[in-house]
Amino acid sequence: MSSADGGGTISPAGSASRVLPGLLPGQPLTALAPMQDVTDLPFMRVMAHYGAPDYFFTEFFRVHGQSRPEKHILRSLVENQTGRPVFAQLIGEDVTHMVRTVKELLSYPIAGIDLNMGCPAPKIYKKNVGGGLLRDPARIDTLLGALRDAVPGLFTVKMRIGFDSTENYERVLGLINKHGVDLLSVHGRTVKEGYRSNVHYDHIAIAVRTVRCPVLANGNITSADKAAAVLAETGAAGVMLGRHAIRNPWIFRQCRERFATSATHTASRPLSSVLCPPSSVFAPTLADVREYIARLYRETQTPDIPERAHVAKMKKYLNFVGQSVDAEGKFLHEMRRAMTETELFAVCDRHLLTEPTKPFATEPYPGIIARPNCETPVESCSLDTVTA
């Protein structure tokens, strides 16, 4: 495990958990959530350009009887020059094949192995993997034990607070302790709640009080101020951000600047003391957003993808970006109708360069909803179904 060997102290199962150091020692940690069809090598490069998180997590490697680690996901490990640790996430439930895949991945430069116990896509949980595992604590017990034995370094888990209720939640947290998990990321919704309900940050706080490893809070963390508030409420060791890093690639930089102003991760600290936005936090303009879109377009473009297909993929990202461009949703309305590169950037120029110094909204405008999977006619385990 070359990243782990070079960058941090690895704790054996059953010992006090230690994680790889963040960019700024003493600050709460930040992580980019694993997002299928999003957190590939080009996207990690873009995030690093604007301010990398402390940790990256790959798209999940699908594990089954005939599986081998997907080559395009392996690129985010072997060609990654962001300078930040990258954890390899697995999704599956067959112990033999999960252990086999771990052994294969140990030859790559990974920071650790992460188990997906939270994907809420029906096509995933119906196979009893991802969030589907939360219905079966006995299966989780067996799987965590086998993976802990197979992983000599950092072993992490990303989970939700339950499948359709929280009845198994504390039992699963007990298993996290039993098997010496090194880092736990908790999305504060059940699988069935998807992304539409309120996030139950009180349940993330339960995990913080219960498990012996650091906890990353995940779910609807929209801004650096929201991250500070969630850390104050939960006492978590850090935050994991997904969709809102697509919308705002400066968010990890902003979090570090925000965290530097107050002890945000003290649960007893009044929320009012962490919500006053300091002037030292970077505030992007619409011109900055235009540059981000151009960079993202170039980084994700490949010769084998037709122009219209690439534009369709870009529109999935821009569904999130557009939530902070204008309160009326005019950018989103026009962007969704663009079919070519020329049309797409003409829309961007009209809405982002007419008033280039106008601030890009810190939070999504109320009522402006991203609907990325409307760009394709089939359900996929991607942006709209597995992001955080």
C-alpha 90/C-alpha 147 separation (Å) is 11
CB atoms closer than 10 angstroms to residue 12: 10
Write out the two tokens for 374.
Answer: 């409307």
Closest by CA to 128, choosing from 166, 89, 93, 165, is: 93
Phi, psi for 113 (deg, rounded to 5): -110, 135
Closest by CA to 291, choosing from 341, 352, 346, is: 352
Residue count of the chain, please give it: 388
What would the DSSP string read from start to end of 335-365? HTT--SHHHHHHHHHHHHSSSTTSBPPSSPP
* Residue 213 bears catalytic tag: no
Chain centroid, CA 110 distance in Å: 17
C-alpha 130/C-alpha 218 separation (Å) is 16
Determine how β-strand 55-57 pairs with β-strand 112-117.
Answer: unpaired
Q: For the chain, report the end-to-end CA distance as a whole number of angstroms.
A: 27
Sort residue 336 into left (φ over 0), alpha (ψ -120 to 50) or beta. alpha
CB atoms closer than 10 angstroms to residue 333: 12
Phi, psi for 88 (deg, rounded to 5): -95, 120
Q: Which residue has the tokens 């060791």?
A: 237
C-alpha 251/C-alpha 240 separation (Å) is 11
Q: What are residue 218's DSSP bridge partners? A: 187, 240
C-alpha 48/C-alpha 109 separation (Å) is 18
Single out the catalytic residue among 119, 213, 348, 381: 119
Those residues with Cβ within 8 angstroms of residue 381's Cβ, 6 or more apart along the chain or in another chain: 36, 37, 119, 121, 123, 124
Closest by CA to 85, choosing from 138, 135, 21, is: 21
Give the start-end residues of each E strand in 290-344.
Answer: none
C-alpha 143/C-alpha 150 separation (Å) is 11
Which residues are catalytic, by number?
A: 119
